[in-house]
Structure 1
Amino acid sequence: MTLAAIVAHDPNLVIGKGGDLPWHYSEDLKYFKRTTMGHPIIMGRVVFEELGGNPLPGRENIVLSRSSNYDHVPTFSSFDKALEYLKEEEIVFLIGGGEIYRQFLDQCDKLFVTEIHQNYEGDTYFPEYRDEIGTTWKEIKREDHDKLSFVVYERM
C-alpha cells in the first residue's frame, strides 16, 4: 500500500481558517477529486464534520476519532486499525486536518501538494516538509499555473 497525503497550502503552509479553506480555486478542487476518486481517503473527525458529516462520493471515507463513531462510514480510534482495514488497497490518501497530517506525515510515501502562490490568513497549518526536499522528498511531477502549482513528491 502507498500512503499519500494530499494537501493545498499557501507559502506559509496555511491549510485552513475557521474550519474551511481560506481560498476557492476550482482547479484545486478538480485536482483533489480527480486524484482521490476511486481510492480510500482518511480524515480526522473535525474534517468529516466540516464536510457536514457526509462522505465524499466515489471514495471510501474513513474517519479517525477517539470520541465519535459514525454508522455510515468506517470509524477507527487508531491509525493502525484504519491501515489494517485498508491493507489490500493500492493507494490510500490522508486528506487532513492539520493534526492528522502532523501525526502521520512521517509514514507517507507520497505527497500530492497544491502550492497556492498567494498568502492567506489561517489558523491551521501543514507541517514543514520543504526543508527535506532533496534529502527525504524528491519532486517527481510539477504542473505550474498562474495562481497555483500541482506538485507530487515521493519519499526517497
Structure 2
Amino acid sequence: MILTLIAAHDPNLVIGKDGELPWHYPEDLKFFKQTTMGHTLLMGRIVFEELGEKLLPGREGVVLSRSQSYPHVPTFSSIDDALNHLSDKERVFVIGGGEIYRQTINMADELIITEIDEAYDGDTFFPEYRDQIGEVWKEKFRQESGSLTFLKYVRNRS
C-alpha cells in the first residue's frame, strides 16, 4: 500500500480554523477530487463530521475515532488497526485532520501538498516537513497556478 498525505496549507502550515477550511479555492478542490477519485480516504472524526458524516462520491472511507463509531463507515480507534484493515488497498490518502497527519507523516510514502501563498488565521496545522526536503522528502512534481503551488514529494528510500 502507498500511504499518501494530501493537504493544502498556508505559509504557516495552517490547514483549518474552527473545524473548517479557512479558504475556498475551487482549483484546489478540483485537484483534490481528481487526485483522490477511486481511492480510499483515511480521516479523523472531525473531518468526517465536516463532510456531513458521509463519504465523498467515488471514494471509500475509513474514520479514526476513539469516541464515536458510524454504522455505515468502518471506524477504528487506532491508526494501526485502520491500516491493517486497508492493507489490501493499492493507495490510501490521509485527508486529516491535524492530529491524524502528525500520527501518520512518519509512515507516509508520499506527500501531496497544495501550498497557498496567502497567510490565514487558523487553529489546526499540518506537521512541519519542509526542513526535511532533500533528506527525507524528494520533490517529484511542481505546478504553480496563481496563488497555489501543487507539489508531490516522495520519501527518499536510499
TM class, shorter-length? over 0.9
Deviations 1:80-101 (A, max 9, x none): 1111111111110000000000
Residue type at the aligned position of 2:108: C
Matched with 1:123 is 123
Instruction: State whether structure 2 residue 91 is matched by structure 1 residue 86.
Output: no
Matched with 1:51 is 51
Gaps of 5+ in 2: none
Matches within 5 A, 1:5-154: 5-154=5-154
Residue type at the aligned position of 1:106: N
Deviations 1:64-122 (A, max 9, x none): 01111101111111111111111111110000000000111110000000000111111
Give the match's secondary structure for 1:106.
coil
- Alpha-carbon separation, structure 1, partners of 2:51 and 2:41: 13
- Alpha-carbon separation, structure 2, partners of 1:88 and 1:102: 23
Shift of 1:57: 1.2
Root mean square deviation, CA, Å: 0.6
Report the count of equivalent residues.
156
TM-score by length of 1: 0.98
Gaps of 5+ in 1: none
Matched with 1:3 is 3
TM-score by length of 2: 0.97
- Alpha-carbon separation, structure 1, partners of 2:131 and 2:78: 29
Residue type at the aligned position of 2:46: V
Name the % identity.
63
- Alpha-carbon separation, structure 1, partners of 2:84 and 2:58: 21
